[in-house]
């Protein structure tokens, strides 16, 4: 085992903070040559000076090559570089694209003006770099940054410095994320673009990342995690359906303001609709009056109209002209009301309620685990031992715990026991000890955390899964998947759009038990709330793995903690 010593001695002066760090490590490098690394770090932090610049985006328009519709069109906003900015929007609205445009990755129309440098998370790891140590990759990811700067950030994000000297591919998702964030924040005078840092992270790792980002500033954070956005951000940039919204506060304060604005817009819209209806009725009456008068102006029947003479023609003409002027006045007022109505509902988030048709199972207990122990072939220690739990009819059981504690393995074991279900899960190397009973004849609808198997067209997917195409497409539209996506190959979808495909298929499948493994990774915050509402309305029996704290609080009837 490698030996290491870390010594930090902060606050050695009154004016400036001088931080001495000594890091001594010995072990084996990747080329199996023994080495010793000794770093003597002298870090002098200057008195904090508020440095602030603006990033100005004006009339930004971008369309992917070969695309028909613009991803971003005439986007304009100004932000400050000392903000902790949350970037919010539905899947496919262009959040990641906007970050790439700030990085200068694509050509665009419009103008982006900034005096600051940008850096982007996550860093790209090439196929030939997974066996290299993170220590070696630092110079690739952020040239010019010294190791001691990264070590300081590693200490703040509660990471063992030893992770820098292990092959990057051997690190867990949480370790990779935290190493990359430590490198990202190691330099100064940069505005950082952070794209969904908590995907695939367990709850403890999410808490660490949240606390770390709370201590930082000068970044854009793309996330669908409401808990993270509320804890970290002091401003939000929202890509609405038609407009851009920049506001002080976090997600909850913005959402409360939006709900008030949406309610006001709906009331105003109803007022305008009523006013337009009344004006149209009045205009129609006046038009019929004018037409009748115009028809009577020339010629008359002396028998039927014995009280009329030639002299009344000028009177009828004047009356008709007055009614025609009144019609034009009504039409102008209608146009004005319509213009005032335009745009009132353009950013309303009022999704159609989703539906699911759970089947009622004849037994009360669907899954019964007693003294359950799980491991994989070749493992010295099991994932866990002698676990006991039940999934009863109507339960929504959430499995929680650190990555590697066995949450997904429980799902694999349950699917293995449910032999009647032909579901895409590999449990061949899973060793099950103890009792795990899954009710016979149980129909299960499964959502995998893996989306890599999705390819080809949506129509082909419908055929393979035996789904009714029109209903499947309708559910996807309700989850705000654009119609233009229906003609693309699924391998070109974003991760959030792929997840929506799996969730839509699951909702369309009548089942006794819904097993979802991290279903909300990459799913936008509006769809998350939509799915919460669905589950609470229809109360399907569920077994889930999900790390979204707000989602757990809303829907879980029972939580099983592993580890």
- Half-sphere exposure of 450 toward its Cβ, with a 13 Å CA cutoff? 8
pLDDT higher at 301 or 426: 426
> What is the pLDDT at residue 325?
72
Torsion of CA 182, 186, 192, 197, to 10 degrees: 0
Quick one: pLDDT band at residue 6, thresholds 50, 70, 90? Answer: very low
Name the residue ranges covered by the structural domains of the chain: 257-341, 365-562
Confidence (pTM) = 0.74
Token look-up 């940069």 returns 190
Phi-psi region of 446 (alpha: psi -120 to 50; beta: other; left: phi over 0): beta
Residue 2 sits at the vertex; the CA angle it makes with 212 and 35, to the nearest 5 degrees, is 105
Dist CA 284 CA 288 (whole Å):
6
CATH of region 365-562: 3.40.50.300
Q: Using an 8 Å Cβ cutoff, are 104 and 252 in contact? A: no
Q: How far apart are CA 334 and CA 372, in angstroms?
A: 71
Q: Looking at residue 391, what is its pLDDT?
A: 96
Distance CA 275, CA 338 (A): 10
Beta strand 542-545 with 396-401: parallel, antiparallel or unpaired? parallel
What band does 35 get if pLDDT is binned at 50, 70 and 90? Answer: very low
Q: Which of 417-426, 477-486, 532-541 is least confident?
A: 417-426
**Average confidence (pLDDT) over 522-529:** 90
Whose structure tokens read 């992917």?
A: 64
How high is the pLDDT of residue 143? 93
Pairing of strands 109-113, 34-45: unpaired
Find residue 513's DSSP bridge partners: 444
For residue 559, give both structure tokens: 């939580």
Quick check: 453 pLDDT over 80? yes
CA distances from 335 to 138, 270, 330, 498 (A): 61, 16, 9, 43
Rounded to an integer, what distance in angstroms lies between the CA atom of residue 309 and that of residue 319?
16
The order of strands in the sheet holding 72-80 is 72-80, 54-62, 109-113
Instruction: Say if residues 141 and 123 touch (Cβ distance below 8 Å).
Output: yes
Q: Convert the pLDDT of each residue in 378-415 to its tens digit.
A: 888 899 999 999 999 999 999 998 888 899 999 999 99
**pLDDT tens-digit map of 321-369:** 676 677 677 667 766 666 665 555 565 666 667 888 899 999 999 999 9
Backbone CA torsion sign across 120, 125, 131, 132: negative
How many other CB atoms are there within 10 angstroms of residue 62's CB atom?
A: 20
**Residue 179 pLDDT:** 95
Model confidence at 312, in pLDDT bands (50, 70, 90)?
A: low
If you average pLDDT over every residue of the chain, what do you get? 82
Contact present, 205 and 403 (Cβ < 8 Å) = yes
pLDDT at 426 over 70: no
Helix (H) or strand (E) holding 274: helix 251-297
Judged against a pLDDT cut of 80, whether residue 297 lies above it is answered with no
- Please tell me the least confidently modeled range out of 26-35, 187-196, 291-300, 459-468: 26-35
Question: What is the Cα–Cα distance from 244 to 256, expressed in whole angstroms?
Answer: 17
Q: Given this model, what pLDDT does residue 343 score?
A: 59
- The region that residue 330 occupies, defined by phi over 0 for left and psi between -120 and 50 for alpha, beta otherwise, is alpha
Percentage of the chain with pLDDT > 70?
A: 77
Cα–Cα distances (Å) from 159 to 24, 176, 210, in that order, read 16, 10, 14
Q: Express each pLDDT in 79-109 by its tens digit.
A: 999 999 999 998 888 999 999 999 999 999 9
Rg of the Cα atoms in the chain? 32
Quick one: tokens of 495? 């991760």
pLDDT surpasses 50 at 40: no
Query: How far is it, in rounded angstroms, from Cα 370 to Cα 392?
Result: 14
**Region 19-35 average pLDDT:** 39
Residue 445: φ, ψ to 5°: -110, 125
Alpha carbons within 13 angstroms on the beta-carbon side of residue 95 total 29
Which of these ranges, 18-22, 177-181, 221-225, 347-351, has the smallest mean pLDDT? 18-22
- Number of CB atoms found within 10 A of residue 104's CB: 10
Mean pLDDT of 216-220: 96
pLDDT of residue 34: 33
Distances (CA, A) of 134 to 130, 161, 162, 403, 455: 9, 10, 10, 21, 33
**Tell me: the pLDDT tens digits for 135-154?**
999 999 999 999 999 999 99
Summarised one tens digit per residue, pLDDT across range 539-556 is 999 999 998 999 999 999
CA distance 511 to 136: 50
Q: Report the run of H or E that residue 61 belongs to, with start and end.
A: strand 54-62
Whole-angstrom distance, CA of residue 383 vs CA of residue 434: 13
Q: Does 4 score more than 70 pLDDT?
A: no
């Amino acid at each position: 085992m490698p030996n290491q010593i870390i010594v930090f001695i902060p606050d050695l002066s009154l004016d400036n903070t001088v931080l001495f760090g000594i890091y001594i490590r010995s072990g084996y490098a990747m080329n199996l040559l023994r080495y010793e690394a000794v770093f003597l770090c002298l870090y002098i932090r200057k008195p904090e000076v508020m440095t602030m610049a603006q990033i100005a985006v004006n009339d930004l328009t971008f369309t992917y090559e070969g695309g028909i519709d613009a991803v971003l069109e005439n986007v304009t906003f100004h932000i400050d570089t000392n903000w902790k900015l949350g970037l919010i929007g539905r899947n496919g609205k262009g959040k990641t694209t906007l970050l790439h445009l700030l990085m200068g990755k694509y050509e665009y129309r419009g103008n982006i003006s900034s005096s600051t440098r940008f850096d982007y998370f996550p860093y790209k790891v090439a196929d030939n770099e997974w066996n290299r140590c993170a220590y070696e990759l630092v110079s690739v990811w952020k040239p010019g940054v010294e190791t001691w700067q990264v070590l300081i950030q590693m200490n703040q994000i509660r990471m063992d410095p030893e992770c820098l000297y292990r092959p990057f591919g051997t690190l867990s998702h949480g370790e990779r994320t935290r190493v990359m964030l430590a490198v990202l924040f190691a330099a100064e005078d940069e505005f950082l673009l952070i794209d969904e840092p908590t995907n695939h992270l367990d709850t403890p790792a999410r808490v660490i990342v949240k606390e770390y980002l709370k201590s930082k500033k000068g970044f854009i954070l793309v996330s669908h995690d409401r808990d993270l956005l509320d804890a970290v951000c002091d401003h939000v940039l929202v890509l609405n359906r038609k407009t851009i919204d920049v506001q002080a506060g976090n997600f909850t304060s913005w959402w409360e303001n939006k709900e008030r604005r949406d309610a006001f817009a709906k009331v105003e819209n109803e007022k305008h609709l009523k006013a337009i209806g009344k004006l149209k009725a009045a205009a129609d009456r006046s038009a019929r009056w004018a037409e009748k008068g115009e028809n009577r102006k020339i010629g008359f029947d002396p028998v039927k109209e014995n009280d009329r003479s030639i002299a009344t023609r000028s009177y009828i003409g004047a009356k008709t002209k007055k009614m025609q002027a009144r019609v034009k006045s009504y039409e102008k007022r209608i146009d004005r009301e319509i213009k005032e109505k335009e745009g009132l509902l353009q950013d309303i988030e009022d999704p159609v309620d989703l539906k699911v048709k759970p089947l009622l199972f004849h037994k009360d207990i669907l899954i019964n685990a007693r003294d359950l122990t799980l491991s994989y072939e070749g493992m010295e220690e099991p994932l866990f031992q002698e676990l006991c739990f039940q999934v009863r009819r109507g339960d929504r059981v959430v499995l929680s715990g650190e990555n590697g504690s066995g949450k997904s393995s429980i799902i694999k074991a349950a699917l293995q026991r449910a032999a009647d279900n032909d579901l895409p899960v590999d449990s061949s190397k899973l060793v099950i000890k103890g009792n795990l009973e899954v009710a016979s004849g149980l129909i299960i609808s499964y959502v995998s955390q893996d989306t890599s198997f999705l390819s080809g067209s949506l129509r082909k997917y419908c055929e393979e899964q035996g789904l009714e195409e029109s209903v499947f497409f309708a559910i996807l539209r309700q989850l705000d998947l654009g119609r233009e996506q229906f003609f693309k190959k699924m391998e070109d979808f974003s991760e959030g759009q792929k997840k929506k495909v799996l969730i839509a298929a699951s909702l369309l499948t009548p089942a006794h038990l819904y097993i979802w493994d991290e279903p909300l990774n990459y799913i936008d915050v509006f769809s998350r709330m939509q799915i919460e509402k669905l589950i609470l309305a229809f109360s399907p029996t569920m077994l889930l793995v999900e790390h979204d704290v707000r989602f757990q609080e809303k829907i879980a009837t029972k939580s099983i903690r592993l580890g």
